[in-house]
Amino acid sequence: MTTATPPRTGRSGSSSTTPPEVPAGAPAPASADGPDPATSRRPAIDWRIRFGVLSLIWGFSFLLIKVGTHGYAPFQVTFGRLFFGTAVLAVAIAVRRERLPRSIRTWGHLTVAAFILNAVPFSLFSYAELTIPSTLAGICNATSPLWGMLLSLVALSEDRPTRRRVGGLGLGFIGVLTVLGAWQGFSGLDFSGTAMALLASLSYAVGWVYVRRTLAGNGSSHLSLTGAQLFMATVQLAVVTPLFTDMPTSFPVVPLLAVITLGSLGTGLALLIQYGLVAEVGPTTGQMVTYFVPVIATAAGVAVLSEPLHWNTPVGAVIVLVGAALTQSRSGGSAAARKSSPAAEPTPTPTPAPAATPSAAAADQP
């Protein structure tokens, strides 16, 4: 799912382990369970409608990636989505008169975050969907909270694991094996494509560990950090794409429209919707988008692209999502972890002024 907006940290300096899915420039919630009543404003559109729209946008992103690769090289699909996503955020930054970060150090960290959270996973998903169904890519994206939990055991020592969360980690990876049909010897599975999709999900988790350690407490606004990060990712792909692909000799309309939609809606508009959701209802509710994305991705792949669906795919997906939910449970955790809001996708989903930054834990952006 991501851009890199740093999460809030508790007084002890700890942060949570769930990789966020990129929300944007809005006041932070007072806690992980709800918005700040002093700063929240009631938008014209009910949050439940926006929640559903966001779930649909991110769920259909995997289908759009697949359609885009029918006409363009994976790097070209990634560059297009970043370019149009950045354009949307640039307009939002201009309308809100936000200032971009000024610190060279901040730009350096954003460059690294852009590579880990945008350039790498977006490209990996595009390459993966050359050989695997979009349904499988969507389910692989949902494993990001599992990778985040696994990494937190090593990288975030102040966030102590609980039996429930460790059990969720084990259950989640059992779900992955179920999706992949391990008991059949992974028959008919494309290993390279599946590995790239899982590495993309892992990249989100690694990126959020980096973001929490380098950008938390930054003085720039949530939206400006996100826009700057997407811009740096766009520059990276602008350099890489000509080196590994040839200029298209034709521009197929349907794949082109898929890439434009993927960037402007799935990467740009979706982040703006996500920001507003987290600011209004809090990250705990916002992060539930994570659990709808693979369901919608599977339904879209089967209904629109006629991708095959075997019983182990939905069953395994349910197990993955239950495991991911358990890994995000805070019961029994440290006091510091409970104070901090959950830490783009994605998920997904797959994350994003930092002291006033809403958590982006809703989903890893695909």
As a whole number of angstroms, the distance between CA 35 and CA 183 comes to 45
- Predicted TM-score (pTM) of the model is 0.78
Distance CA(196)–CA(120), nearest Å, equals 10
Quick: pLDDT tens for 127-173. 999 999 999 999 999 888 888 888 877 765 556 677 888 888 888 88
pLDDT in tens, the chain (366 residues): 555 444 444 434 444 444 433 333 333 333 334 444 444 456 678 888 999 999 999 999 999 999 999 999 999 999 999 999 999 999 999 999 999 999 999 999 999 999 999 999 999 999 999 999 999 999 999 888 888 888 877 765 556 677 888 888 888 889 888 888 877 766 677 889 999 999 999 999 899 889 888 987 777 888 899 999 999 999 999 999 999 999 988 899 999 999 999 999 999 999 889 888 887 887 767 777 878 888 899 999 999 999 988 888 889 889 888 888 887 766 544 433 333 333 344 443 333 333 333 333 334 567
- The residues, any chain, with a CB within 8 Å of residue 144's CB and separated by 6 or more, are 1, 19, 201, 202, 204, 205, 324, 346, 347, 348, 349, 350, 364
